[in-house]
Amino acid sequence: MKKAVLNLKVKPEIILVDGNHKIPDLDIQQEAIIAGDAKSACIACASILAKVTRDCLMYQYAKEYPQYLFEDHKGYGTKKHIECIKKYGPCNIHRKTFAPVKDFIKLP
Protein backbone atom coordinates (compact mmCIF):
# COMPACT_ATOMS: atom_id res chain seq x y z
CA MET A 1 0.00 0.00 0.00
CA LYS A 2 2.91 2.30 0.73
CA LYS A 3 4.16 1.94 -2.83
CA ALA A 4 0.71 2.85 -4.19
CA VAL A 5 0.52 5.96 -2.00
CA LEU A 6 4.03 7.07 -2.94
CA ASN A 7 3.18 6.72 -6.64
CA LEU A 8 0.18 9.05 -6.44
CA LYS A 9 0.56 12.18 -8.57
CA VAL A 10 -0.97 14.33 -5.83
CA LYS A 11 0.20 13.89 -2.24
CA PRO A 12 -2.87 13.30 -0.05
CA GLU A 13 -3.41 15.29 3.13
CA ILE A 14 -4.58 12.16 4.95
CA ILE A 15 -4.76 8.43 4.27
CA LEU A 16 -7.76 6.44 5.48
CA VAL A 17 -6.70 2.85 6.07
CA ASP A 18 -9.27 0.04 6.28
CA GLY A 19 -8.17 -1.94 9.31
CA ASN A 20 -6.25 -1.44 12.50
CA HIS A 21 -2.74 -0.96 11.11
CA LYS A 22 -1.38 2.23 9.61
CA ILE A 23 1.07 2.08 6.72
CA PRO A 24 4.56 1.90 8.26
CA ASP A 25 7.20 4.53 7.52
CA LEU A 26 4.86 6.87 5.66
CA ASP A 27 5.21 10.58 6.29
CA ILE A 28 1.54 11.38 5.67
CA GLN A 29 -1.19 11.69 8.30
CA GLN A 30 -3.17 8.45 8.54
CA GLU A 31 -6.26 7.15 10.25
CA ALA A 32 -6.76 3.41 10.62
CA ILE A 33 -10.47 2.58 10.68
CA ILE A 34 -11.58 -0.90 11.71
CA ALA A 35 -14.42 -2.02 9.39
CA GLY A 36 -13.68 1.12 7.38
CA ASP A 37 -15.69 0.02 4.37
CA ALA A 38 -18.82 0.14 6.54
CA LYS A 39 -17.92 3.51 8.11
CA SER A 40 -16.41 5.52 5.26
CA ALA A 41 -17.81 6.03 1.76
CA CYS A 42 -14.27 6.68 0.50
CA ILE A 43 -12.99 3.37 1.83
CA ALA A 44 -16.09 1.54 0.56
CA CYS A 45 -15.58 2.96 -2.95
CA ALA A 46 -11.88 2.13 -2.88
CA SER A 47 -12.72 -1.44 -1.81
CA ILE A 48 -15.12 -1.84 -4.73
CA LEU A 49 -12.59 -0.47 -7.22
CA ALA A 50 -9.89 -2.76 -5.82
CA LYS A 51 -12.12 -5.84 -6.06
CA VAL A 52 -13.24 -5.08 -9.62
CA THR A 53 -9.64 -4.44 -10.66
CA ARG A 54 -8.50 -7.68 -9.01
CA ASP A 55 -11.28 -9.66 -10.70
CA CYS A 56 -10.29 -8.24 -14.10
CA LEU A 57 -6.66 -9.21 -13.47
CA MET A 58 -7.72 -12.71 -12.46
CA TYR A 59 -9.64 -13.14 -15.73
CA GLN A 60 -6.49 -12.13 -17.60
CA TYR A 61 -4.36 -14.50 -15.53
CA ALA A 62 -6.88 -17.28 -16.20
CA LYS A 63 -6.01 -17.03 -19.90
CA GLU A 64 -2.29 -17.15 -19.17
CA TYR A 65 -2.54 -19.91 -16.55
CA PRO A 66 -5.74 -21.85 -17.39
CA GLN A 67 -4.87 -24.83 -15.17
CA TYR A 68 -5.29 -22.70 -12.02
CA LEU A 69 -8.95 -21.81 -12.72
CA PHE A 70 -8.46 -18.17 -11.61
CA GLU A 71 -11.72 -17.26 -13.35
CA ASP A 72 -13.56 -19.36 -10.73
CA HIS A 73 -11.89 -18.41 -7.45
CA LYS A 74 -10.25 -15.07 -8.37
CA GLY A 75 -7.13 -16.04 -6.42
CA TYR A 76 -8.86 -16.39 -3.07
CA GLY A 77 -7.72 -19.29 -0.89
CA THR A 78 -10.60 -21.58 -1.77
CA LYS A 79 -10.40 -25.35 -1.69
CA LYS A 80 -10.27 -25.38 -5.51
CA HIS A 81 -7.40 -22.87 -5.58
CA ILE A 82 -5.36 -24.81 -3.03
CA GLU A 83 -5.98 -28.05 -4.94
CA CYS A 84 -4.61 -26.39 -8.10
CA ILE A 85 -1.49 -25.22 -6.27
CA LYS A 86 -0.93 -28.74 -4.92
CA LYS A 87 -1.44 -30.28 -8.37
CA TYR A 88 0.56 -27.80 -10.50
CA GLY A 89 2.75 -26.00 -7.99
CA PRO A 90 2.75 -22.22 -7.69
CA CYS A 91 3.05 -20.03 -10.77
CA ASN A 92 4.76 -16.64 -11.18
CA ILE A 93 1.83 -14.64 -9.85
CA HIS A 94 1.38 -16.58 -6.61
CA ARG A 95 2.50 -14.71 -3.49
CA LYS A 96 5.28 -16.64 -1.81
CA THR A 97 3.88 -15.54 1.57
CA PHE A 98 0.48 -17.22 0.89
CA ALA A 99 0.53 -20.22 3.25
CA PRO A 100 -0.22 -22.98 0.68
CA VAL A 101 2.48 -21.57 -1.63
CA LYS A 102 4.93 -21.09 1.22
CA ASP A 103 4.29 -24.67 2.35
CA PHE A 104 4.70 -25.95 -1.21
CA ILE A 105 8.05 -24.26 -1.83
CA LYS A 106 9.22 -24.78 1.78
CA LEU A 107 10.29 -21.23 2.52
CA PRO A 108 11.95 -20.68 5.90
Q: What is the pLDDT of residues 33-62, one digit of tens each?
A: 999 999 999 999 999 999 999 999 999 999
Provide φ and ψ at 106, rounded to 5°.
55, 50
Long-range contacts for 103-106 (Cβ within 8 Å, ≥24 apart)? none
Question: Would you say residue 108 has pLDDT above 70?
Answer: no
Amino acid at 34: I
Q: What is the pLDDT of residues 6-20, one digit of tens each?
A: 999 999 999 999 999
> Across the chain, what does the average pLDDT equal?
93
For 1-108, strand residue ranges (E) read 14-18, 29-33
Q: What is the pLDDT of residues 50-97, one digit of tens each?
A: 999 999 999 999 999 999 999 999 989 999 999 999 999 999 999 988
Q: What is the pLDDT of residue 9?
A: 97
Q: What is the pLDDT of residue 107?
A: 52
Q: What is the pLDDT of residue 20?
A: 96
